[in-house]
Amino acid sequence: MSKTLLYGATKIDETNSAYAPAESLAQFQWKSRVFVVFADRDNSRAARQENHLLADRSALDERDLVVLKVSGVGVRPLFGATDGLDGVAIRRDLEAPEVGEFAAFLLGKDGTVKLKLSEPITDGELFAIIDSMPMRAAESLKPDK
């Protein structure tokens, strides 16, 4: 399985698109983390990813996570409130693979890509990655989280 963690960089090159906030998902910046699943042709890996994530909705809510599924050019919210999203723009901003290929991306609250996946990830693995992020650690210290 290919996993690329991007949040561990010590110096951010703002000219690198991997560290630029995704404009198409700007409505979530500083409010929510976003997990975007790009469906594969037969939808099997996307369905498996969906099942992993939606098994624990309270954990998604606790981590301020919005889950989106992009199939072709359409966008469907799987968890969390969304408004007026453009699948083509999301695909372009995240430099996602061709239509019909599976991929998943985790964006932090700062709007930048923190994780790229070419295979589904379990909810436990994803939550461990989120929980290891500095902003999430700070949130967990607040009494309301």
User: Comparing 73 with 70, which gets the higher pLDDT?
Assistant: 70
Residue from 138, 118, 115 nearest 127 by CA: 115
DSSP letter at 39 equals P
> In this predicted structure, what is the pLDDT of residue 2?
55
Residue from 17, 21, 39, 46 nearest 31 by CA: 21
Task: List pLDDT tens digits, range 33-72.
Answer: 999 999 988 889 999 999 999 999 999 999 999 999 999 8
> In this predicted structure, what is the pLDDT of residue 22?
86
Residue 94 has pLDDT above 80, yes or no: yes
> In this predicted structure, what is the pLDDT of residue 8?
40
Residue 11 has pLDDT above 50, yes or no: no
pLDDT category at 15 given cuts 50, 70, 90 is very low
**Cβ atoms 114, 18 nearer than 8 A:** no
The reported pTM is 0.84
> In this predicted structure, what is the pLDDT of residue 139?
83
> In this predicted structure, what is the pLDDT of residue 70?
95
What is the arithmetic mean of pLDDT over 14-18?
47
